[in-house]
Structures are given as structure tokens and as C-alpha cells.
């Protein structure tokens, strides 16, 4: 796979696939992290004499022009974060895009309209990819977080122009490879979230590769129930009991320790400030639900972090969106951050909820690497080939 440094960009139009699928409220970008993370690539292209033309999707307009899903909403934030004049073209192909490219002045950045306004994007249509390719000289993919999609702007286009990975794409891949392909052992993974059913492939891929897995969030309830423990009214996939037992057997055979909660925080209602109590994991009252891991469980998780050299984190330990059920996630995240800052742990985290939880705990800044990716991070951890990465060679 080529990098920006391998390409001659002088005077070239560089079609740069970025992921600026950022949260927006009332017409304003509320979290510019993904924009901040593409700045090094845009700067590098400009420094090398290239003309950056940004290609991106926004939301899911399903192949139609949906004005509320126009990428123009990101223009001010882009301009501010990049510290550049950002021009905008109301189409990503055809004469409108061409005219905007021709008008690009030195030092400017051009943003093209949402690629998903065209049905050919999600179909990975060669004809649509050819329309995109016509506009530029070089293709740079800096959208790791969209690389699990085999779409025209992430996949087919890479085969039509001299292609390379951008700096963020490189950084994401390097962090994941360091954490999982050739990690310093022991490796501990945190796998949390509501449902085991969405994490089966992830657990299957991690078990032979890591030394311990902390199971957190609602999915831990399914594992507790699979051992005959009454979890009351907790979120639980009872129909997956035998699958959970089979996973425990596989982990045992692979010498991978599964760390389940030993104590839990329970409440009768799921709302901010709800009355809660801590009980042993075996003693959830029948009319209560488990909403977080308890302090003994957190101590166990921190001990596992202290024994480890590498940490991969995907998914919260409790219902972190509603305090006080963020306590376990916060405490574990802070411990991981401190161990990382002390040089004792290499820590990588990713996934939409995970990053939100780590940001809320204030720990994210001290992790070795926090991915910008949600679905793509998960698919990488599942061992799947990401089409957008594969297309770069």
C-alpha cells in the first residue's frame, strides 16, 4: 500500500476520500473530531503542491438528493479546523464539480457534495466511479472509518487512479496492527455493549489472539444467565445461553480468561439518578435490572490492565449514557489512561459508543490511540477484510 510520501503531488488534483460524517445539531457540527483528524493529510497534500478535493458521504440519503443531508453543513467547521478557505461544489461529479475544481486557487480546499446523493456510490458502480476518477489525477483514501463499505468512492475509485493511503488511514492501521497483529503480550480486550448477538464474530476472532477478555455491559448479563444466575429484569439474550456457554468453553480451551462481573449495580428504573444498589452478581433482585459493574468488578478489570502490556477496548462496561451507571466505565478508563501515561500499557479504543464513553470520562486523551471508526473498527477486530483498505493494495 502506497502512502502520500510515495506520490508526486505537485500540481495534481488529489481526490481525497475523507470521513466527515460528523454529528450535527441545528445546522452546526457538534463534534469536529473527525475533521481535526484529517487535517494532517490535507496539509501534507497542500505542502506537496497538490490540490485537495474532498470526497465524502454524509448520513444515509440512499442514493437521492436530500437537502438536509448536504455536506455544506460541515463547510464552516472544515474551514475553521483546517485554517483554509474551503470552497464547495453542489455535486460530486459532472460540470458542477469540474467548474469548482477549475476555480480552485492555491492553498484552497474544495469539498464536493455528498457522494451518497448518487445511487452509484453505495452500489460501487464502475460508471459512477469513472465519473469521479475523471475529476482528479491521484486518489488518496483517508477514511478508515468508512473502509468497511465497498462503495465507489472507497473501493472502485482506488482501482482507477494512482492510489495511496492518507496519514489518518495509515495511523489507524498502524495502531490496530500494533494492538492485534503483533502485540506485546499479555493482551487484554474489553468487549462491552448491549448485546452478545452483535459481538459473536468479535469474540470468536479475539479468543485465540488475546490473553483475557473483559465482558461488559448488557452482554455480560447473558453470560451470567448462561451460568444459571438469575439476572432479574436485566437486558439479557436468554436464547443465546448455549452460545455463551460454548464461547466460555472455547475461551477456556484457548487459555483466554473471560472476566465477568462479580458484583453489579442494580436499579428498578433506568433513569438519571435512579436509586441503585450494589449487590453480588449472583444476587440481582427479581424486580431489578443490572445497569453497571460494581467496584469489585472494576478492581478485577484494573488488575487485568495492570498485568497486561496491550489493551484493545470496544464497548462500555455499563449503561454509561445515564449517570451513575457510567461509574465502572469511567473508573476502568481512567486506570487504563494512567497506565498508558506511565508507559506500562499500549491502549487502543474504538467504536462509536466507546469513544463517546471515553471522552465523557476524560480518559480518551491519554489512550495510545483512539480510533475515529465505529463499524470499521469493529469489523477490523472481527478479522474481516475492509474493502477500502484492500483496494489500496
Residues contacting 314, CB < 8 A, separation 6+: 189, 190, 191, 192, 193, 202, 349, 350, 351, 354, 377, 378, 381
Nearest distance from residue 374's CB to ligand 3PG, in Å? 4
Residue 354 labelled as part of a binding site:
yes
Please name which of 101, 151, 148, 144 lies closest in space to residue 126, comparing C-alpha atoms: 151
Nearest distance from residue 191's CB to ligand 3PG, in Å? 18
Binding site for ligand 3PG (CB under 6 A): 19, 21, 60, 145-146, 149, 374-375
Distance between CA atoms of 116 and 56, rounded to whole angstroms? 8
Nearest distance from residue 138's CB to ligand 3PG, in Å? 23
Is residue 175 within 8 A of residue 167, CB to CB? The reply is no
Residue 149 labelled as part of a binding site:
yes
Neighbours of 163 (CB within 10 A): 20
Comparing CB distances to ligand 3PG, the nearer of 58 and 139 is 58
Comparing CB distances to ligand 3PG, the nearer of 31 and 338 is 31
SS3 374: coil
Query: Which residue in this structure is represented by grid cell 458521504?
Result: 57
DSSP 177: I
The reply to whether 374 belongs to the active site is no
Residue 117 labelled as part of a binding site:
no
Is residue 130 within 8 A of residue 160, CB to CB? The reply is yes
From 2, 75, 352, 383, the catalytic residue: 352
The reply to whether 375 belongs to the active site is yes
From 34, 51, 209, 366, the catalytic residue: 34
Residue 282 labelled as part of a binding site:
no
DSSP 135: T
Distance between CA atoms of 169 and 147, rounded to whole angstroms? 9
The reply to whether 34 belongs to the active site is yes
Nearest distance from residue 63's CB to ligand 3PG, in Å? 13
Comparing CB distances to ligand 3PG, the nearer of 61 and 232 is 61
The reply to whether 383 belongs to the active site is no
Comparing CB distances to ligand 3PG, the nearer of 9 and 140 is 140
Residue 98 labelled as part of a binding site:
no
Distance between CA atoms of 379 and 385, rounded to whole angstroms? 8
Residues in binding site for ATP: 199, 321, 351-354
Which positions are catalytic? 34, 195, 352, 375
Residues in binding site for (2R)-3-phosphoglycerate: 34, 116, 149
Residues in binding site: 19-21, 34, 57-60, 116, 149, 199, 321, 351-354
Amino acid at each position: 500500500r502506497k502512502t502520500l510520501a510515495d506520490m508526486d503531488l505537485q500540481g495534481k488534483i488529489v481526490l481525497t476520500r475523507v470521513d466527515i460524517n460528523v454529528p450535527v445539531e441545528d445546522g452546526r457540527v457538534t463534534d469536529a473530531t473527525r475533521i481535526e483528524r484529517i487535517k494532517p493529510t490535507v496539509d501534507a497534500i497542500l505542502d506537496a503542491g497538490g490540490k485537495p478535493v474532498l470526497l465524502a458521504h454524509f448520513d444515509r440519503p440512499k442514493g437521492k438528493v436530500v437537502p438536509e443531508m448536504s455536506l455544506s453543513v460541515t463547510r464552516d467547521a472544515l474551514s475553521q479546523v483546517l485554517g483554509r478557505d474551503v470552497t464547495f461544489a453542489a455535486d460530486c461529479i459532472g460540470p458542477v464539480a469540474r467548474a469548482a475544481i477549475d476555480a480552485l486557487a492555491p492553498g484552497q480546499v474544495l469539498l464536493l457534495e455528498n457522494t451518497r446523493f448518487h445511487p452509484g456510490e453505495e452500489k460501487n458502480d464502475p460508471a459512477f466511479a469513472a465519473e469521479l476518477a475523471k475529476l482528479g489525477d491521484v486518489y488518496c483514501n483517508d477514511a478508515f472509518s468508512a473502509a468497511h463499505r465497498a462503495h465507489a468512492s472507497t473501493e472502485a475509485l482506488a482501482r482507477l487512479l494512482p492510489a495511496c493511503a492518507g496519514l489518518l488511514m495509515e495511523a489507524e492501521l498502524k495502531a490496530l496492527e500494533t494492538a492485534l497483529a503483533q502485540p506485546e503480550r499479555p493482551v487484554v480486550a474489553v468487549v462491552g455493549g448491549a448485546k452478545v448477538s452483535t459481538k459473536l464474530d468479535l469474540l470468536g476472532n479475539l479468543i485465540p489472539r488475546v490473553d483475557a477478555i473483559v465482558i461488559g455491559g448488557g452482554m455480560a448479563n447473558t453470560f451470567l444467565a448462561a451460568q444459571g444466575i438469575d439476572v432479574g429484569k436485566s437486558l439479557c439474550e436468554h436464547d443465546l445461553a448455549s452460545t455463551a456457554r460454548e464461547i466460555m468453553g472455547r475461551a477456556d480451551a484457548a487459555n483466554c480468561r473471560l472476566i465477568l462481573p462479580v458484583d453489579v449495580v442494580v436499579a428498578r428504573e433506568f433513569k438519571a439518578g435512579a436509586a441503585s444498589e450494589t449487590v453480588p452478581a449472583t444476587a440481582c433482585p427479581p424486580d431489578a435490572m443490572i445497569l453497571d459493574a460494581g467496584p469489585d468488578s472494576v478492581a478485577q478489570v484494573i488488575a487485568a490492565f495492570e498485568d497486561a502490556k496491550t489493551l484493545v477496548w470496544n464497548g462500555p462496561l455499563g449503561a454509561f449514557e445515564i449517570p451513575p451507571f457510567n461509574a465502572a466505565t469511567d473508573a476502568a478508563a481512567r486506570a487504563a489512561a494512567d497506565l498508558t501515561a506511565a508507559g506500562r500499557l499500549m491502549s487502543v479504543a474504538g467504536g462509536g459508543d466507546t469513544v463517546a464513553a471515553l471522552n465523557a470520562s476524560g480518559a480518551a486523551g491519554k489512550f495510545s490511540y483512539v480510533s475515529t471508526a465505529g463499524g470499521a473498527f469493529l469489523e477490523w477486530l472481527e478479522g474481516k477484510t475492509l474493502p477500502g483498505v484492500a483496494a489500496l493494495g
